[in-house]
Amino acid sequence: MKVHEYQAKEILGRYQVAVPKGKVAFSAEQAYAIAKELGGTVVVKAQIHAGGRGKGTFTDGFKGGVKLAKTADDAAEFAKKMLGNTLVTHQTGPAGRQVQKVYLTEAANIAREYYLGIVLDRAKQMNVIMSSTEGGVEIEKVAAEAPEKILKTWIDPLVGIQPFHARQIAFGLGFTGEAFKECVKLVAALYKAHEDTDSTLTEINPLILTDDGHVVALDAKMAFDDNSMYRHPDIMEMRDLTEEDPLEV
Ligand code: ADP
Ligand code: MG
Protein backbone atom coordinates (compact mmCIF):
# COMPACT_ATOMS: atom_id res chain seq x y z
CA MET A 1 0.00 0.00 0.00
CA LYS A 2 1.29 3.44 -0.98
CA VAL A 3 0.61 6.75 0.70
CA HIS A 4 0.90 10.35 -0.47
CA GLU A 5 3.92 12.55 0.19
CA TYR A 6 2.05 14.55 2.86
CA GLN A 7 1.10 11.35 4.69
CA ALA A 8 4.63 9.91 4.48
CA LYS A 9 5.94 13.17 5.93
CA GLU A 10 3.40 12.99 8.75
CA ILE A 11 4.62 9.48 9.62
CA LEU A 12 8.30 10.47 9.34
CA GLY A 13 7.67 13.54 11.49
CA ARG A 14 6.51 11.25 14.31
CA TYR A 15 9.98 9.69 14.23
CA GLN A 16 11.73 13.08 14.33
CA VAL A 17 12.86 12.94 10.72
CA ALA A 18 13.36 16.61 9.74
CA VAL A 19 10.66 17.61 7.23
CA PRO A 20 9.50 21.13 6.25
CA LYS A 21 6.17 22.31 7.69
CA GLY A 22 3.16 21.83 5.47
CA LYS A 23 -0.56 21.08 5.14
CA VAL A 24 -2.81 19.45 2.59
CA ALA A 25 -5.55 21.38 0.73
CA PHE A 26 -8.57 20.17 -1.23
CA SER A 27 -9.54 23.57 -2.65
CA ALA A 28 -7.94 26.83 -3.80
CA GLU A 29 -9.52 28.61 -0.79
CA GLN A 30 -7.89 26.19 1.63
CA ALA A 31 -4.60 26.55 -0.25
CA TYR A 32 -4.81 30.33 0.18
CA ALA A 33 -5.46 30.07 3.93
CA ILE A 34 -2.61 27.58 4.46
CA ALA A 35 -0.17 29.69 2.41
CA LYS A 36 -1.07 32.72 4.59
CA GLU A 37 -0.58 30.64 7.74
CA LEU A 38 2.81 29.29 6.58
CA GLY A 39 3.84 32.79 5.52
CA GLY A 40 6.49 33.76 2.96
CA THR A 41 7.25 31.71 -0.12
CA VAL A 42 5.57 28.31 -0.25
CA VAL A 43 5.69 25.36 -2.62
CA VAL A 44 2.47 23.89 -4.05
CA LYS A 45 2.84 20.17 -4.71
CA ALA A 46 0.33 17.93 -6.51
CA GLN A 47 -0.41 14.83 -4.42
CA ILE A 48 -0.56 11.68 -6.53
CA HIS A 49 0.88 8.21 -5.98
CA ALA A 50 3.65 8.81 -8.52
CA GLY A 51 6.97 10.60 -8.68
CA GLY A 52 8.47 12.90 -11.29
CA ARG A 53 5.83 15.54 -10.51
CA GLY A 54 8.24 18.46 -10.76
CA LYS A 55 8.98 17.67 -14.40
CA GLY A 56 5.44 16.50 -15.20
CA THR A 57 2.89 18.25 -17.45
CA PHE A 58 -0.88 18.46 -17.01
CA THR A 59 -3.10 17.28 -19.87
CA ASP A 60 -4.24 20.88 -20.47
CA GLY A 61 -0.64 21.94 -21.08
CA PHE A 62 0.04 23.48 -17.63
CA LYS A 63 3.63 22.62 -16.71
CA GLY A 64 4.90 21.31 -13.38
CA GLY A 65 3.27 19.54 -10.43
CA VAL A 66 5.65 21.31 -7.99
CA LYS A 67 5.41 25.12 -8.07
CA LEU A 68 7.05 27.92 -6.10
CA ALA A 69 4.50 30.55 -4.99
CA LYS A 70 5.73 33.91 -3.69
CA THR A 71 2.31 35.00 -2.40
CA ALA A 72 -0.82 33.31 -1.06
CA ASP A 73 -2.66 34.52 -4.20
CA ASP A 74 -0.12 32.70 -6.39
CA ALA A 75 -0.48 29.59 -4.22
CA ALA A 76 -4.27 29.66 -4.65
CA GLU A 77 -3.83 30.15 -8.41
CA PHE A 78 -1.51 27.11 -8.69
CA ALA A 79 -3.85 25.01 -6.55
CA LYS A 80 -6.76 25.98 -8.82
CA LYS A 81 -4.77 24.95 -11.92
CA MET A 82 -3.76 21.60 -10.38
CA LEU A 83 -6.93 20.46 -8.59
CA GLY A 84 -9.13 18.30 -10.82
CA ASN A 85 -6.45 18.47 -13.53
CA THR A 86 -4.61 15.37 -14.76
CA LEU A 87 -0.85 15.20 -14.26
CA VAL A 88 1.33 13.08 -16.53
CA THR A 89 4.80 12.09 -15.28
CA HIS A 90 7.27 9.39 -16.34
CA GLN A 91 5.77 7.23 -13.58
CA THR A 92 2.04 7.67 -14.31
CA GLY A 93 1.95 6.38 -17.87
CA PRO A 94 0.36 8.45 -20.67
CA ALA A 95 -3.10 8.53 -19.04
CA GLY A 96 -1.76 10.45 -16.02
CA ARG A 97 -3.41 10.84 -12.63
CA GLN A 98 -6.13 13.23 -11.55
CA VAL A 99 -5.00 15.55 -8.75
CA GLN A 100 -7.46 15.70 -5.85
CA LYS A 101 -5.31 17.39 -3.26
CA VAL A 102 -2.27 19.62 -3.11
CA TYR A 103 0.34 19.98 -0.40
CA LEU A 104 1.40 23.45 0.68
CA THR A 105 4.83 23.50 2.23
CA GLU A 106 7.55 25.94 3.24
CA ALA A 107 10.01 26.73 0.46
CA ALA A 108 13.54 25.61 1.28
CA ASN A 109 16.76 27.30 0.19
CA ILE A 110 18.60 24.37 -1.32
CA ALA A 111 22.40 24.27 -1.28
CA ARG A 112 22.58 20.68 -2.51
CA GLU A 113 20.31 17.70 -3.26
CA TYR A 114 21.04 14.08 -2.29
CA TYR A 115 19.29 10.72 -2.51
CA LEU A 116 18.46 8.48 0.46
CA GLY A 117 16.34 5.36 0.20
CA ILE A 118 15.65 2.14 2.13
CA VAL A 119 14.39 -0.94 0.36
CA LEU A 120 14.31 -4.69 0.97
CA ASP A 121 17.09 -6.54 -0.83
CA ARG A 122 15.33 -9.86 -1.34
CA ALA A 123 18.44 -11.65 -2.63
CA LYS A 124 20.42 -10.76 0.50
CA GLN A 125 17.35 -10.98 2.79
CA MET A 126 18.28 -7.64 4.33
CA ASN A 127 17.22 -4.04 4.09
CA VAL A 128 19.63 -1.92 2.12
CA ILE A 129 20.07 1.81 2.60
CA MET A 130 21.00 3.49 -0.66
CA SER A 131 22.55 6.93 -0.60
CA SER A 132 23.94 9.14 -3.31
CA THR A 133 25.23 12.64 -3.88
CA GLU A 134 23.20 12.53 -7.13
CA GLY A 135 19.88 13.64 -5.68
CA GLY A 136 16.82 15.09 -7.34
CA VAL A 137 17.39 12.80 -10.33
CA GLU A 138 15.81 9.39 -10.83
CA ILE A 139 17.87 6.84 -8.95
CA GLU A 140 17.28 4.30 -11.75
CA LYS A 141 19.16 6.67 -14.06
CA VAL A 142 22.06 7.01 -11.61
CA ALA A 143 22.14 3.21 -11.20
CA ALA A 144 22.35 2.77 -14.98
CA GLU A 145 24.84 5.53 -15.77
CA ALA A 146 27.00 5.92 -12.67
CA PRO A 147 26.41 2.97 -10.31
CA GLU A 148 29.62 3.86 -8.40
CA LYS A 149 27.80 6.96 -7.16
CA ILE A 150 25.35 4.89 -5.12
CA LEU A 151 26.54 3.80 -1.69
CA LYS A 152 24.79 0.68 -0.42
CA THR A 153 24.67 -0.11 3.27
CA TRP A 154 23.09 -3.44 4.19
CA ILE A 155 21.52 -3.82 7.62
CA ASP A 156 21.49 -7.26 9.20
CA PRO A 157 17.96 -7.66 10.64
CA LEU A 158 19.27 -9.58 13.66
CA VAL A 159 21.68 -6.81 14.63
CA GLY A 160 19.74 -3.79 13.40
CA ILE A 161 21.09 -0.40 12.43
CA GLN A 162 24.20 0.67 14.33
CA PRO A 163 25.60 4.18 14.79
CA PHE A 164 28.52 3.39 12.46
CA HIS A 165 26.11 2.65 9.59
CA ALA A 166 24.60 6.13 9.82
CA ARG A 167 28.07 7.71 10.14
CA GLN A 168 29.26 5.80 7.08
CA ILE A 169 26.36 7.21 5.07
CA ALA A 170 26.80 10.82 6.31
CA PHE A 171 30.52 10.54 5.53
CA GLY A 172 29.82 9.05 2.09
CA LEU A 173 27.55 12.00 1.27
CA GLY A 174 30.36 14.38 2.22
CA PHE A 175 28.70 16.04 5.20
CA THR A 176 30.83 17.75 7.84
CA GLY A 177 30.28 19.51 11.19
CA GLU A 178 26.70 20.06 12.38
CA ALA A 179 25.26 18.85 9.07
CA PHE A 180 27.11 15.54 9.57
CA LYS A 181 25.44 15.12 12.97
CA GLU A 182 22.02 16.02 11.55
CA CYS A 183 22.45 13.52 8.73
CA VAL A 184 23.44 10.75 11.18
CA LYS A 185 20.31 11.48 13.26
CA LEU A 186 18.08 11.59 10.20
CA VAL A 187 19.35 8.26 8.80
CA ALA A 188 18.78 6.53 12.17
CA ALA A 189 15.29 8.05 12.51
CA LEU A 190 14.38 7.15 8.94
CA TYR A 191 15.48 3.55 9.46
CA LYS A 192 13.45 3.26 12.66
CA ALA A 193 10.38 4.64 10.86
CA HIS A 194 10.92 2.15 8.02
CA GLU A 195 11.20 -0.83 10.37
CA ASP A 196 8.42 0.12 12.80
CA THR A 197 5.87 0.71 10.06
CA ASP A 198 6.65 -2.45 8.04
CA SER A 199 7.60 -0.23 5.12
CA THR A 200 8.92 -1.93 1.99
CA LEU A 201 10.17 1.33 0.48
CA THR A 202 11.10 4.60 2.18
CA GLU A 203 12.59 7.05 -0.25
CA ILE A 204 13.78 10.63 0.26
CA ASN A 205 14.57 12.25 -3.08
CA PRO A 206 15.81 14.82 -2.58
CA LEU A 207 17.36 14.92 0.84
CA ILE A 208 18.77 18.42 1.00
CA LEU A 209 21.38 20.55 2.65
CA THR A 210 19.88 24.01 3.17
CA ASP A 211 21.94 27.13 2.60
CA ASP A 212 22.05 27.62 6.38
CA GLY A 213 23.48 24.15 6.93
CA HIS A 214 20.51 21.93 7.87
CA VAL A 215 19.71 18.46 6.54
CA VAL A 216 16.03 18.06 5.59
CA ALA A 217 13.82 15.49 3.80
CA LEU A 218 12.24 17.55 1.01
CA ASP A 219 10.29 14.76 -0.67
CA ALA A 220 9.07 11.48 0.81
CA LYS A 221 7.68 8.29 -0.60
CA MET A 222 6.60 5.28 1.47
CA ALA A 223 5.03 1.95 0.56
CA PHE A 224 3.99 -0.68 3.10
CA ASP A 225 3.65 -4.44 3.26
CA ASP A 226 -0.09 -5.07 2.71
CA ASN A 227 0.07 -8.19 4.87
CA SER A 228 1.20 -6.15 7.87
CA MET A 229 -1.49 -3.51 7.68
CA TYR A 230 -3.62 -5.19 10.36
CA ARG A 231 -0.89 -4.07 12.78
CA HIS A 232 -1.07 -0.46 11.59
CA PRO A 233 -4.66 0.84 11.67
CA ASP A 234 -3.34 4.44 11.66
CA ILE A 235 -1.56 3.85 8.36
CA MET A 236 -4.49 1.86 6.95
CA GLU A 237 -6.61 4.98 7.46
CA MET A 238 -4.33 6.78 5.01
CA ARG A 239 -5.33 4.47 2.17
CA ASP A 240 -6.53 6.42 -0.88
CA LEU A 241 -8.81 4.16 -2.92
CA THR A 242 -9.02 6.69 -5.77
CA GLU A 243 -5.32 6.06 -6.45
CA GLU A 244 -5.79 2.31 -6.81
CA ASP A 245 -6.96 0.09 -9.65
CA PRO A 246 -10.80 0.01 -9.32
CA LEU A 247 -10.92 -3.66 -10.31
CA GLU A 248 -8.51 -4.58 -7.52
CA VAL A 249 -10.33 -2.36 -5.01
P1 ADP B 1 8.96 14.85 -7.59
O2 ADP B 1 10.04 13.91 -7.16
O3 ADP B 1 7.64 14.17 -7.68
O4 ADP B 1 9.31 15.62 -8.84
P5 ADP B 1 9.86 16.59 -5.42
O6 ADP B 1 9.20 16.82 -4.12
O7 ADP B 1 11.11 15.79 -5.40
O8 ADP B 1 8.79 15.96 -6.42
O9 ADP B 1 10.13 18.02 -6.07
C10 ADP B 1 10.86 18.21 -7.26
C11 ADP B 1 11.91 19.28 -7.06
O12 ADP B 1 11.29 20.49 -6.64
C13 ADP B 1 12.92 18.95 -5.95
O14 ADP B 1 14.02 18.20 -6.44
C15 ADP B 1 13.33 20.32 -5.47
O16 ADP B 1 14.36 20.84 -6.28
C17 ADP B 1 12.07 21.16 -5.68
N18 ADP B 1 11.31 21.28 -4.41
C19 ADP B 1 10.42 20.42 -3.89
N20 ADP B 1 9.93 20.82 -2.70
C21 ADP B 1 10.54 22.00 -2.43
C22 ADP B 1 10.50 22.94 -1.32
N23 ADP B 1 9.71 22.73 -0.25
N24 ADP B 1 11.29 24.04 -1.40
C25 ADP B 1 12.09 24.26 -2.46
N26 ADP B 1 12.17 23.43 -3.52
C27 ADP B 1 11.42 22.30 -3.51
MG1 MG C 1 11.24 13.68 -5.56
Shortest-distance Cα residue to atom 13 of ligand 1 = 136
Span 121-160, pLDDT tens digits: 999 999 999 999 999 888 889 999 999 999 999 999 999 9
From the list 114, 110, 123, the residue with the least C-alpha distance to 154 is 123
pTM of the model: 0.96
| Beta-bridge mates of residue 103 | 24, 45
Shortest-distance Cα residue to atom 5 of ligand 1 = 219
Closest atom of ligand 1 relative to the 56 alpha carbon? 4
Please, is 190 exposed, middle or buried when counting C-beta atoms within 10 Å of its C-beta (0-12, 13-18, 19+)?
A: buried
Whether residue 115 lies in the annotated active site? yes
For residue 203, report the distance from its CA to the centre of ligand 2, in Å: 9
For residue 53, report the distance from its CA to the centre of ligand 1, in Å: 8
Span 205-241, pLDDT tens digits: 999 999 999 999 999 999 999 999 999 999 999 999 9
From the list 133, 98, 119, 99, the residue with the least C-alpha distance to 209 is 133
Mean pLDDT, rounded, of the chain = 97
Pocket test for ligand 1, best of 2, 12, 44, 66 (most atoms within 8 A of CB): 66
